[in-house]
Amino acid sequence: MSARLKGRLIVLGITGSIAAFKSPEIVRALRAEGADVQVLMTPAATRFVSPLTMRTLTGRAVDADLLDLLPDGRIGHIVAADSADAILVAPATAQWIGAMASGMAGDPVTATCLATTAPVVVAPAMDGEMWAHPATQANARRLTEDFGYTLVEPVHGALASGSEGAGRLAEASVILAAVIEAIGASPVREPDVARRPPVVPAGDLSGRRVVVTAGGTEEPIDAVRILANRSSGRQGIALAEAARDRGADVLLIAARVSVPLPEGVEIVRVATVDELSSALDAALLPPPDGKATSSVDALIAAAAVSDFRMRGGPSAEKLLRDGDLTLTLEPTPDLLAGIAKRLGGRAARQTKLIGFSAESGATKRAAEKLKAKDLDLVVANDVTAPGIGFESAENRAEILDVDGVISVVGPAPKRVVADAILDRLVALLVTGGAR
């Protein structure tokens, strides 16, 4: 193989065509020629091909949301635009071609094309009548004549509608040739690896089993009302995604969350403290015969667990608004402390335990929790600080261990905070940790 794209970064934009199922084939063709590939996806494209699939094939994080940041905190479409040697949009829908011709930057693919000076290759795929429509043809001409894009025209063949026509995505070999030609015709520039989108971290958690809890538990008051908290689950889900990307076998125990659950991890849904307790016991504790130890390497307890519940259980009927109402509450069990006790002391147990301390003025209280609960690490964050925590996309954390070593990270995207926590976990797993 000639490796005609060796050292080049090709940004592949995937839009919402059923032909998106061919995108893995295009990635393989590009990589066979030595290219590095970064994938961008429109929201519609994710319904045809999984971002996890594309991340696995490319080894790079996939940008599928215009507002999402890369794991290192940079703006994904700007990084892609600045570092690409060429941008390939395949398949390109009529919708995307029209939006691009009008300069509408409503998704990562159009935004990147608007922000780049690299050559752009567009390979449409759609129903034959859509491709032949004067509006689509006018938009396609705008891309080639006004913008200087290379167009790889669709070919005649069987279409998803069941008909035949000139709307079928060109073969991967033809698209590849167009990319190579476009790069050859553009000014040569030295690859700047440092500016490129980050490679998915090497599997420093490969072979490890990690359990993560996320979201807020809820306790029923009556038939319709609950006691809950403001947790969005963002930090726990970021931890599950980061652990997955670093090679771990991840179990995510998710309570109520306000963000999508990740792909590529095992998921157990819970609601109440008792349900979370049962899920943790099933995941972490050895069987009753006591002949096996826990196979879990780490528990990261990021869920916001309800501190109180109704004494005697919830009311069987909806409580009425007649006059003043008094609710009698009782504390819920401390699940993490209980797990630590049942697994044995820090020096003896295999499983590393990481807790969270969301407090006002968090550090002192976090140090107390670390000792009282016999944890390996505790992550402290001040919930009163503006712009971080809860529904925010950012967090600031102080990571404490039993030796008093504190790592401070942020304010930063929660994925960045997640990787900082996992860095400390990896160090514990390698060294055995402080005793």
Query: For residue range 126-143, what is the model confidence (pLDDT) as tens digits?
Result: 999 999 999 999 999 999
Query: 194-238 pLDDT, tens per residue?
Result: 677 777 655 788 889 999 999 999 999 988 888 888 889 999 999
More confident residue, 285 or 13: 13
In this structure, the chain runs to a length of 435
Claim to verify: residue 183 and residue 216 sit in the same structural domain: no
> Which pLDDT score is estimated for 193?
65
Query: Mean pLDDT across the stretch 335-351?
Result: 87
pLDDT band with cut points at 50, 70 and 90 for residue 157 = confident
Residues with Cβ < 8 Å from 70, sequence gap 6 or more? 61, 63, 76, 79, 197, 198
User: Is residue 124 domain-resident?
Assistant: yes
Average pLDDT on 363-387 reads: 81
Burial class of residue 44 (count of CB atoms within 10 Å of its CB; 0-12, 13-18, 19+): middle
Indicate the helix (H) or strand (E) that contains 123.
strand 120-124
- 184-215 in b/e burial notation, b at 16+ Cβ within 10 A? eeeeeeeeeeeebbeebbeebbeebbbbbbbb
Q: What residue type is 234 in one-letter code?
A: R
Q: Please check whether residues 43 and 162 belong to one and the same domain.
A: yes
* DSSP codes of every residue in 265-319: SEEEE--SHHHHHHHHHHHHSPPTT--S----SEEEE-SB--SEEETT---SSPP
User: pTM, whole model, 2 decimals?
Assistant: 0.64
Q: What tokens were used for 221?
A: 């008051």
Amino acid 435: pLDDT? 40
Same domain (yes/no): 240, 140: no
Q: Does residue 123 sit in the same domain as residue 156? A: yes
What is the separation of C-alpha 64 from the centre of its chain, rounded to a whole number of angstroms?
10
37 with 143, same domain?
A: yes
158-195: pLDDT as tens digits: 777 677 778 899 999 999 999 999 998 766 566 566 67
DSSP 169: P
Q: What angle do CA 95, 31, 194 make, to 5 degrees?
A: 90
Q: Do 180 and 215 lie in a common domain?
A: no
pLDDT in tens, 407-427: 888 788 888 889 889 989 998
Q: Is residue 92, in this structure, part of any structural domain at all?
A: yes
pLDDT for the residue numbered 395: 85
Q: Are residues 217 and 255 in the same domain?
A: yes
Could you read off the pLDDT of 306-329 as tens digits, one per residue? Answer: 989 999 898 888 888 877 888 889
Residue finishing a domain among 195, 220, 242: 195
Which pLDDT value is given to residue 359? 66
Does residue 187 share a domain with residue 165?
yes
293 and 152 share one domain? no
Q: Which of 184, 163, 268, 200 is nearest to 4 (CA)?
A: 184
The rounded distance, in Å, linking the Cα atoms of 411 and 84 is 29
Residue 434 has pLDDT above 50, yes or no: no
What's the pLDDT at 432?
A: 65
SS3 assignment, position 117 = coil
Instruction: State the maximum Cα–Cα separation within the chain, in Å, rounded to a whole number.
Output: 82
Residue 61 lies in a domain: yes
Domain-located, residue 202: no
What is residue 14's predicted lDDT score, i.e. its pLDDT?
97
Determine which of 1-5, 87-91, 120-124, 361-365 has the lowest per-residue pLDDT on average.
Answer: 361-365
Residue where a domain stops, chosen among 195, 219, 243:
195
* Structure token digits, residue 300: 């990261």
Task: Quote the mean pLDDT of the chain.
Answer: 87
With b for 16 or more beta-carbon neighbours within 10 A and e for fewer, the 227-253 pattern comes to bebebbbbbbbbbbbbbbbbbbbbbbb
CA angle, 171 as apex, 167 and 175 as ends, to 5°? 100
Task: Please give the Cα distance from 374 to 354 (Å, whole number).
Answer: 10
| 109-125 confidence digits (pLDDT tens) | 999 999 999 999 999 99
SS3 175: helix
CA distances from 245 to 52, 165, 200, 202, 363 (A): 10, 41, 6, 8, 29
Q: What local confidence, expressed as pLDDT, does residue 430 receive?
A: 81
Task: Give the residue numbers marked as catalytic.
Answer: 229
Among 97-106, 333-342, 362-371, the least confident range? 362-371
Number of other CB atoms surrounding residue 324 within 10 Å: 4
Do 200 and 38 form a contact (C-beta atoms < 8 A)? no
24 vs 3, more confident: 24
Decide which of 141 and 292 is more confident: 141
- For residue 3, is it within any domain? no
Q: Which domain holds residue 410?
A: 209-431
Those residues whose C-beta lies under 8 Å from the C-beta of residue 358, and which sit 6 or more positions away, are: 304, 381, 383, 389
Whether residue 123 sits in one domain with residue 15: yes
What is the pLDDT averaged over residues 49-75?
81
CATH value at residue 271: 3.40.50.10300
79, part of any domain: yes
Q: Are residues 334 and 370 in the same domain?
A: yes
Tell me how crowded residue 417 is: count the other CB atoms within 10 A of its CB.
Answer: 26
Q: Cα separations (Å) of 137 from 13, 133, 153, 155, 178?
A: 20, 6, 11, 15, 20
Give 264: exposed, middle or buried? Use CB within 10 Å, 0-12, 13-18, 19+: middle
Which range has the worst mean pLDDT, 58-72, 189-203, 330-344, 369-383?
189-203
* Structural domain count, the chain: 2
Q: Are 208 and 429 in contact (CB under 8 A)?
A: yes
Residue 415 lies in a domain: yes
132 with 280, same domain: the answer is no
Among 195, 226, 248, the domain boundary falls at 195
3-state secondary structure (DSSP) of residue 215: coil
Tell whether the model's pLDDT for residue 50 goes beyond 50: yes
**What CATH number is given to the structural domain containing 98?**
3.40.50.1950
Looking at the predicted structure, is the pLDDT value of residue 388 above 60? yes
